[in-house]
Structure 1
Amino acid sequence: MPVQSTNPDFDAHIAEWRMMDDALEGEGAIKRNPVNLPKPSGMVEAEKLDVTGNRYLYQNYTDRAQYEHWVRDSLRSMMGLVSRLIPEIELPAGMKGLEDNATSDGFGLKQLFFRMVRQAISHGRVPLVVNIDETGEPYFSTYATRNAINWKAGAMGGRQDLNLAVFIEFRDNKEDEFDHDCKMVYRVFKMIDGVCYSEVLGEDGAVLEELKPLGTTGADNRLVKGLAYLPVIYSGSTDNSPEVDEVPLLTMARAALKSYQLSADYFTALHQTSHPQPWISGIDEEVELSVTGPSAAWDLGPNGSCGYLEFQGAGVEAVRTAMEDQKNAALEAGAKVMDVGGTESGEARKTRQNDQHATLHSIVVTAAEGLEQALRYAAEWKGYDPKQVKFTVKPEFIVTEADAQQILAQIQLWQNGFIAKRDVRANLRRGALIAPDRTDYQIDEELAMEPPVGGINEQ
């Protein structure tokens, strides 16, 4: 089979992932794909009569439709909550540099974690690969969900492990520095005689980078260390197995798409209601009527008659109600994914979420575990003890409706000598009124907490 071959699970879910790509890009992407808005039968028949002259009917129908950016807005809100989380990172001394430079494009571990969470929320799947650069240092690469086209797992050492992973990559096709054309290539990871090998093939199957053990660096093809496994992790929305997980925001995306389709009918109906269609009959053939409007008068001759075909719009309200129903369905779906309120214990939450539906809580935990596993792969590759690696994130989301009055009340209590300054800081952090990573000095400086006259002034 050719390198372009895809996993059956990929084929089953690629349409969902493309839908999510369009949903996140926004209205422009939705409207560029005619599949998202089927043509009404009348427009189909009109184009059969004159495809060029009647194409404007569907174009106007599409232009009036409105796509709501619920998916993009929800993702932004969720990432706002995630951005407040502070990862706990422990690495061997020789790997400390990864904290600030961990990815192939130069970002640190914290940004890599946020990137993984974002993609898990939007697509339910984050392909993460550990590799070695030309200097022998490890780095991490993530792939778009739709570019991880094939994978296989088989029995290795008594357990199921990956033995094949294929990814699409894009490379500059020309030397012109201002050109944006790219060519598609396929990066392949596979196990041969218990060692992980890698190669790059072109679309025609031609070898662009020869097959060699992963970790081979330099002009002399020096091997840092052969790996007895594929350093590939498919981080999902509920676990990190190679199987495809559910897309957390898929229900919301479908509701947004259905609302978009309904809006095309709704706004077209409103347009037709406010623009009645004139009709004319019984006029002589030589009579020409090419102008309409309040400044034009028609001479219909002795036998002519005219009138208006008015769109009654009896179903407009029903369509508007259906659009509102889709909005409510989308908001409900987003709330289920968010699921961050309350003081529920980890075990209680785990029991309640035992139905394996993805939530922001499960996504954060899964992404942190996936990144920790990748760091352990890197540590083993470099000869360090994987047990020295730690990357954990406590998914303690605090949703608060606090405002400036609550901050002011805390400061006034301190100024009046009722509570200590350290208690003010603790209360502000506990109530999520300030970022948890702000230092005591920064808090005092930003809130202008000068020592009060008399009363408690503990630091």
Structure 2
Amino acid sequence: MPSLNVPQAHFLTLPHKFRAFVAGFGSGKTWVGCSALCKHFMEWPGVNAGYFAPTYPQIRDIFYPTVEEVAYDWGLKTKINQANHEVHIYSGRQYRGTVICRSMEKPQTIVGFKIGHLLEVGRHGLLVDYAAVVAGSVSKADEQAGRARASVASYSAESIINWKTRQVGGQHLLSLVVLRETVDVDTDDGFGSEQVVQFRVLRLDAAGVYTQEVWEEGPSETAMTIAPFTPLNGLGQPWRVIPFQFLGSENNDTSIDDSPLYDMAEVNIGHYRNSADYEEAAYLVGQPQPWMAGLDEQWRDHMEKGGIFLGSRAPWLLPVSGTCGVWQAQPNTVAKEAMDGKKEDMVSLGARLIERGSAVKTATQADNDSAAEHSVLSLVVSNVSEAYSQCLVWMAEFVNAPGEVVYKLNQDFSQISLDATILTALFNAVQGGKLPAGDFWQYLRDRGVIDPEKTDDQIRDELETESPGPALDDTEVIPNGGKPSNP
């Protein structure tokens, strides 16, 4: 039985999609968070979850030990893979799911969840916004302390309920975006909370100025709760575009793209139907059925009176002409073959996601690469990279930050192997001064030899502090004045 105090138990019973357990040091925040993960895997086996912390050392020192203890408390087992920052959850020998751990230090390790959503539904949205402050009242210290800074809000495809575009010159700009949000509102007694649906409306007015307004859905009508206001950029000027970025599986425009996983989902449903037919047949006729023949009514009544038993110690006594046997249904090969065929189809469809030449880049995405060398997954990753690059440009404009924004996710999904010959050649090149050590370390990072989260400075510091080999120098001094090698 899970060990929870009253606030923790109440937290786990909350029906809200977004919950927060705010408490002081030692109050059990990590414990209740790990309990929520265990509850999730008990209710939704096979559905992975994410765990985020400020740094990976905090995940290693706090989360890993706690989730192992909590899982045991729930009757579960854990298998921690620190190299991949994953925790696999098991119920006995049955796999329940994986907790994917990510650090908040590097955004590129988090956007993978957006990639997964794009593969699932083919559409997502990102809104760049700034804290509601009075113009000119925010200092650099406020921004560095996080009291006021630009942020990126994520919206699922289902939350983007309306949008329009307008042609301005040679561009098609967003003129309207309506976003559905769910917020927690305190109840009148101050002890509870309830979810309220609100709509955030982003507009370009007739003068081409970006405004925001918020409407709240009530029992009888939807009323405006925040009147239209004009967000300003870092120079105190109004925006001439809506800083909202669509993400798609094919491109990042306002059109609705197909889900890359739709075909696989359809085949999976068919596999489920075949599996249900196969299991039903196994249930109805799968058990061995004993039979007897050649019995007259007197013999039948005699056997029924004494009872008919099965087993090596209960032989059946039959008349001279009597026969018996065990009937076993033939395997239902039609349903089984259909299941196997659909399984092969799903493997083929999954391989197409990373198969080169299965998708075509846009002109912006081409970037001197051949279109034939682009896969569905790499196209999705490229779209996510472009979307976050644009969002970072808008965030920089909010705070009037100079410089160029560069953001790119890895698009190489081929299995990378470690070649001993190439490794030796690269090592010799580093030793000979022909290759920077940082490039050699990056080669080892890509192949999992070095932790991908380690920076060049961290690697250099470790190499400088560690001894290059065993301490074999004769530095020990013997009281008679000699050394071990010279008694």
Q: Report what 2:275 is aligned to.
A: 263
User: Percent identity, aligned pairs only?
Assistant: 20
Counterpart residue identity of residue 276, structure 2 = A
* 8 Å CA contact 2:199, 2:215 repeated in 1: yes
Q: Gaps spanning 5+ residues in structure 2: where? A: 1-39, 47-94, 134-147, 292-296, 298-303, 315-324, 358-364, 472-487
Q: Report what 2:165 is aligned to.
A: 153
User: Shift of the alpha carbon at 1:272?
Assistant: 2.1
Q: Report what 1:182 is aligned to.
A: 195
Q: How does 1:137-148 map to 2 (within 5 A)?
A: 137-148=149-160
CA distance in 1 between partners of 2:437 and 2:181 (Å): 52
Q: 1:370 to 1:236 in 2, by over 3 A?
A: same
Secondary structure in 1 matching 2:241: coil
CA distance in 2 between partners of 1:371 and 1:418 (Å): 39
CA distance in 2 between partners of 1:399 and 1:208 (Å): 51
User: Shift of the alpha carbon at 1:443?
Assistant: 5.2
Choose from 401, 410, 413 the match for 1:395: 410
Counterpart residue identity of residue 195, structure 2 = C
> Is structure 2 residue 375 aligned with structure 1 residue 361?
no
Larger Rg: 2
Highest RCO, 1 vs 2 (Cα 8 Å, sep ≥ 6): 1
Secondary structure in 2 matching 1:390: coil
Counterpart residue identity of residue 380, structure 2 = I
Q: Report what 1:327 is aligned to.
A: 343
User: Shift of the alpha carbon at 1:332?
Assistant: 1.5
Counterpart residue identity of residue 351, structure 1 = A
Q: How does 1:147-296 map to 2 (within 5 A)?
A: 147-175=159-187, 181-193=194-206, 194-195=208-209, 196-203=211-218, 205-215=221-231, 225-275=237-287
User: Shift of the alpha carbon at 1:121?
Assistant: 2.6
User: Shift of the alpha carbon at 1:451?
Assistant: 5.4
* 8 Å CA contact 1:371, 1:391 repeated in 2: no
User: Shift of the alpha carbon at 1:141?
Assistant: 0.2
User: Shift of the alpha carbon at 1:147?
Assistant: 1.4
Secondary structure in 2 matching 1:338: coil
* 8 Å CA contact 1:131, 1:138 repeated in 2: yes
Q: Report what 1:450 is aligned to.
A: 468
Choose from 389, 393, 396 the match for 1:372: 389
CA distance in 1 between partners of 2:439 and 2:106 (Å): 29
* 8 Å CA contact 2:166, 2:174 repeated in 1: yes
Secondary structure in 2 matching 1:391: coil
Secondary structure in 1 matching 2:353: helix
CA distance in 1 between partners of 2:393 and 2:438 (Å): 36
Q: State the Cα RMSD in Å.
A: 5.4
* 8 Å CA contact 1:121, 1:248 repeated in 2: yes
Secondary structure in 1 matching 2:251: coil
User: Shift of the alpha carbon at 1:347?
Assistant: 6.2
Secondary structure in 2 matching 1:332: helix
User: Shift of the alpha carbon at 1:243?
Assistant: 0.7
Counterpart residue identity of residue 141, structure 1 = A
* 8 Å CA contact 1:227, 1:381 repeated in 2: no
User: Shift of the alpha carbon at 1:203?
Assistant: 4.9
User: Shift of the alpha carbon at 1:233?
Assistant: 0.9
TM-score w.r.t. length of structure 1: 0.56
Counterpart residue identity of residue 405, structure 2 = K
Choose from 109, 124, 127 the match for 2:125: 127
Counterpart residue identity of residue 273, structure 1 = V
* 8 Å CA contact 2:264, 2:346 repeated in 1: yes
Q: 1:309 to 1:210 in 2, by over 3 A?
A: farther
Q: How does 1:41-56 map to 2 (within 5 A)?
A: none
Q: Report what 1:59 is aligned to.
A: none
User: Shift of the alpha carbon at 1:140?
Assistant: 0.8
Count of residues paired in the alignment: 339
Q: 1:320 to 1:152 in 2, by over 3 A?
A: same
